[in-house]
Structure 1
Amino acid sequence: MSAARNSPVSEGSRRYDVVIAGGGPVGLLLACELGLRGIPTLVLERLPPGRDEPRALALHPRTQQILDRRGLLDDFRAAQERAGGWAFFRRHIDNSAPRGHFAGIWRLGRAESVEALPAGLFVQREDIKAILAGRAAGLGVTIRHGAEVTGVRQTADEVVAEVRDDSGESVVRARYLVGCDGGRSTVRGAVGIAFPGTEPTSVSRMALATVPQDADLPTGWVRTATGWFMRMPDGRIAATEWDVPEDLSTPPTLEEFNASVQRVTGSRTALTDPKFVSRFTDATRQAERYRAGRVFLAGDAAHIHFPAGGQGVNLGLQDAVNLGWKLAARCAGHAPDALLDTYYTERAPVAARVLHNTRAQSALMRPGQDTDALRDLFSDLMEIPEVNSRLSALIYGNDIRCPVPGAAHPMAGAFVPDTALATADGPVRLAERLRSGRPLLLDLGDGAQDAAHPWRDRVDLVPATSPDLDVRALLIRPDGYALWASDRPDALAAGRDDEGLRTVLTEWFGAPLDD
């Protein structure tokens, strides 16, 4: 029997299944995933539109693949072009090739060729938010700016979020709540989820401000005897030191930033007219769990780390897509509650790997002669293809798999690459067939659609042929990962794989329809 769908609960006259605390990229992509499946969703964002730290974010190949499977990739490419793309980035690094870095060593390739996608798609944070907010609103999601979640309580049937905005205090009730409210998450604290990790060993100060024309500042990413100086692709300047002040609670100032730049570079240049000044450390923490009853965490609310390699935004966006289709299926009454627990079991190890490699990068970026020697050796090792491939996989996540317990086929758990399909409706790319946000069963000649017919209300059943897929049938999750495959000719017709497919469909997408 499928999970019964309860009525969504209300905020005034509107009714919502899911409330999302935080309208940054992670919260907005999660809202898009829910809106795509028609789940009543409310986003509460404390900042007004356009009020955020101006900075560019690098979207890695796996994230680009996911965006393509939602029809968003072209919008992000256009946003990169408006910002100047790789040509703008190359002006700020020593190596003119569009390669990545590990601990500031610009020799990182990619673990594999990924659908001809660049290693990084550079998009302004505000552009990301605008694109996703536009998509979410078009899907019926409600976005309230200037509204901050200040407390959370829950029962067996609902979550109650305490909200503060210009009109005062109020409450919002929903079936589920997701905290996408950053590293100092109010939601995480309110539900008592611990956030263990390591204390900071370095502090970075960053600003977007006016640089004097006669400035004698270095360009690019420069390691000095006292720290690092960095000029970012979007005009930001940062200085990193390994002398951490005892008190990091006071707001950073331009004077503090200029003093740090002068200590790191030896230059007496002082920037003026700041658009913003910020401060961050290499503190590394991960939530001990991502779920407490009807409350979930995603993005920085679940994990923080030193921002090396642009991994944070990609980690968070992929959290959102993983949780989104599962929460939508549960709200629609199709999926068992246990499906929601796979969000943590799948995503927590990925985050732990990111935290581990960013700790290593922070250590490799320390000043000092001992680290100089280690960097020289590490740089040589990165020229070994196998080493480079391993490090690239760590940064870009091209090797991420989603575990499928009991799966026998090697494709189960792997991300399915885009390919051309020939269908009764004409040629189509696999990525385009996933834009509904529904699971996809490709019947490539094994009769799989007949076995899956009782799940037709929640799984797209598509007979097709493909020159690139060496299987007879393939079941793909909404986020692009394979759950089940068969490569034996006529195995389903002979009844040998029938029960395996039905078992997977039931475990992941609920009980079949009664015909």
Structure 2
Amino acid sequence: MSVIVVGAGPVGLMLAGELRLGGVDVVVYEKLPTPPRESRGASFTRRTAECFDQRGLLTRLPATEPADGHFGGIPLDLGMFSEDHAGARGIPQFRTERMLEDWALELGVQVRRGCEVTGYRETSAGVVVTLDGPQGPFEDTAVFLVGCDGGRSTIRKLAGIDFPGPEPTRGFYTADVTGISTRRRRTGEDLPGGSMVMAMDLEGGVTRVVVHERGMPPRDRETLRFNHLADAWERLTGESIHHAEVRWLNCFTDASRVASLYRVGRVFLAGDATHVQPPAMAQGLSVGVQDAVNLGWKLAATVKGWAPAGLLDTYHSERHPIGEQLARNARAAIELRLTGADMDPVRGVMAELMSHKGAAEHLAGMLSGLGIRYDMGPCDHPLLGKRMPPDHKLTLADGTRTRVADLLHSAQGLLITTNDEYGQTAQGWTDRIKVVASTTAVAPDPALEAVLVRPDGYIAWTSAAGPANNLTTALNRWFGTAAPK
């Protein structure tokens, strides 16, 4: 086996699919015997929707409604931007997982349930993983091991990776219920003193309710009962929801942590194994899926033997800062929302700043993921290092009209150009990238003659780069040495 992935949640399944697109054998081990029906997440960000679109997966999900923009409860007007920053709301996580598992199985991924990792050891050639399965203990070997096994990650603990962050101080109750008619509070309603309630629609008449009552401490989920949530809801709103039929009940805290390392030798972490934050931020699933899309093609390139030196190291260098930013933003948003009247002056300043387009666009870019910019080497072109807009339309040399997203379904890199000289330069890499001849603008900047796009959708080079970062340099940096002629 080339890669063992631990955890069959959205992140593990997305990663497995990415690896298979890269031509790599992969098995996913999941300790739960059957797929869960509960949904910790019920939305995802714009960039995550784009990641699904890049692989032809977005149309496999039910129709969604745009999520309202806010930070810490302060509204953010997304209508002031030229690009759509709105996320998708109302898709239960189990639907996303089911879609991703169907896709992964179609690609040839093995998903083995009821198998719990108990240990691993590295060898000169790979990793030996020990597991307990339905038929008892067994071992499996692979070149790489990836822990996508959640905030209490076994792989992270076995690898000895620190998971620093402040201890939680606040508790939240959440439940999916039917049979209530409470007013919808889709992004949450802030109440005097630092309390908050939320109610949003899921599919099939299910309502997700969340409650935080000022002073509510973190709670052990094993002792949580629905009356604890319903009593707090009634104290805060005056409404009784005690009669609801409960589909799922849980609790969470305001903890925000990020792993100190995303890689140790042949072992990697992704998703909640690397970063946790309150589910009310609606960021965990999204950032985890983006981790998977960043890591998948790099691991596949390494297994297939064409990865340039240091490519795997860019997973930590590119994604760890995103995890740190996520933890910081989560702590800031929770304090802003739940501190009470003492925070009103800060809320006023934030609301004023968020009315200015530049400040609002920076904040919206962090929340949507559209503001991510990776280091791609020398060149100050504004598109370099940012994601290629997947809806950008091209007219190909044969007259066909297509979108960039449709060209990324196979998870190969793209060289999109109106100048055949660039296409000739890239001929030694056509086993790893597609050369796309276009008769229309290759990118939102019409002055560009060519752009190089990585399999994860980020622009690795533009024709505006100087001699220090020419096309051959960029191809070598991201796609290894040219194939022999």
For residues 336 and 387 of structure 1, do their structure 2 counterparts lie closer, same or farther at Cα, with a shift above 3 Å needed? closer
8 Å CA contact 1:439–1:478 kept in 2: the answer is: yes
Return closer, same or farther for 1:442/1:385 CA change in 2, 3 Å cut-off.
closer
Which stretch of the first structure deviates more once superposed, 372-381 or 30-39? 372-381
Distance 1:244 1:340 in 2: 43
Q: Deviations over 1:348-407 (max 9, x none)?
A: 111211211111110012253223454345334433333322321221121111111334
The match for 2:418 is 444
Identify if the C-alpha distance between structure 1 residues 263 and 200 changes in structure 2 by more than 3 Å, giving closer, same or farther.
farther
Q: 1:152 aligns with which of 120, 124, 128?
A: 120
Distance change in 2, residues 1:119/1:349 (3 Å): same
Q: Report what 2:308 is aligned to.
A: 336
Deviates more, 1:268-277 or 1:339-348: 268-277
- Write the deviation string for residues 108-129 of structure 1: whole angstroms up to 9, x where unpaired: 4267433x57432542211111
Partner of 1:486: 463
For 2:25, the equivalent position in structure 1 comes to 40
Measured against aligned partners, the alpha-carbon deviations of 1:437-491 in whole angstroms (never above 9, x if no partner) come to 1111123215012112111221212222223542112111011111111149xxx
- Whole-angstrom CA distance in 2 between matches of 1:253 and 1:156: 50
Out of 150, 171, 192, the residue aligned to residue 225 of structure 1 is 192
Query: Which residue of structure 2 aligns with residue 307 of structure 1?
Result: 279
Match of 2:363 among 362, 367, 391: 391
* Alignment match of 1:379 (pick from 333, 338, 351): 351
Structure 1 range deviating more: 243-252 or 434-443: 243-252
Structure 1 letter corresponding to 2:252: F
Q: 1:483 to 1:58 in 2, by over 3 A?
A: same
Amino acid at match of 1:22: G
1:319-348 residue CA offsets vs partner (Å, 9 max, x unmatched): 110001111111111103510110110111
TM-score for both structures, normalised by structure 2? 0.90
Could you tell me whether the CA contact under 8 Å between 2:262 and 2:269 is conserved in 1?
yes
- Tell me the residue number matched to 1:102: 71
Whether contact under 8 Å (1:21, 1:179) holds in the other structure is: yes
RMSD between aligned residues: 2.5
Conserved 8 A contact 1:198-1:284: yes
Distance 1:499 1:470, change over 3 A: closer
Match of 1:94 in 2: none
Q: CA deviation at 1:272?
A: 4.8
Change (3 A) 1:105 1:412: closer
Q: Given the superposition, is the C-alpha separation of residues 191 and 366 from structure 1 closer, same or farther in structure 2, using an over 3 Å criterion?
A: same
Partner secondary structure for residue 447 of structure 1: helix
How many residue pairs align between the two structures?
473
Q: How many angstroms apart in 2 are the aligned matches of 1:431 and 1:212?
A: 40
1:3 aligns with none
Match of 2:392 among 393, 402, 419: 419
Partner of 1:9: none
Cα distance in 1 for partners of 2:367, 2:217 equals 29
Segments of 5+ residues of structure 1 without an aligned counterpart are 1-15, 90-97, 489-495
Q: Distance in 1 between matches of 2:227 and 2:367?
A: 34
1:233 shift after superposition: 2.6
Q: In structure 1, which of residues 266, 270, 277 is the aligned counterpart of residue 249 of structure 2?
A: 277
Contact 1:111 1:390 in 2 (8 A): no
Q: CA 1:109/1:404 → structure 2, altered by over 3 Å: closer, same or farther?
A: same
Instruction: Tell me how far 1:55 sits from its aligned partner.
Output: 5.2
Q: How does 1:363-374 map to 2 (within 5 A)?
A: 363-374=335-346
> SS in structure 2 opposite 1:387?
helix
- Secondary structure of the residue that 1:474 maps to in structure 2? strand
Distance 2:54 2:107 in 1: 16
Structure 1 vs Structure 2: percent identity of aligned residues?
A: 37
Structure 2 portions without partners, runs of 5+: none
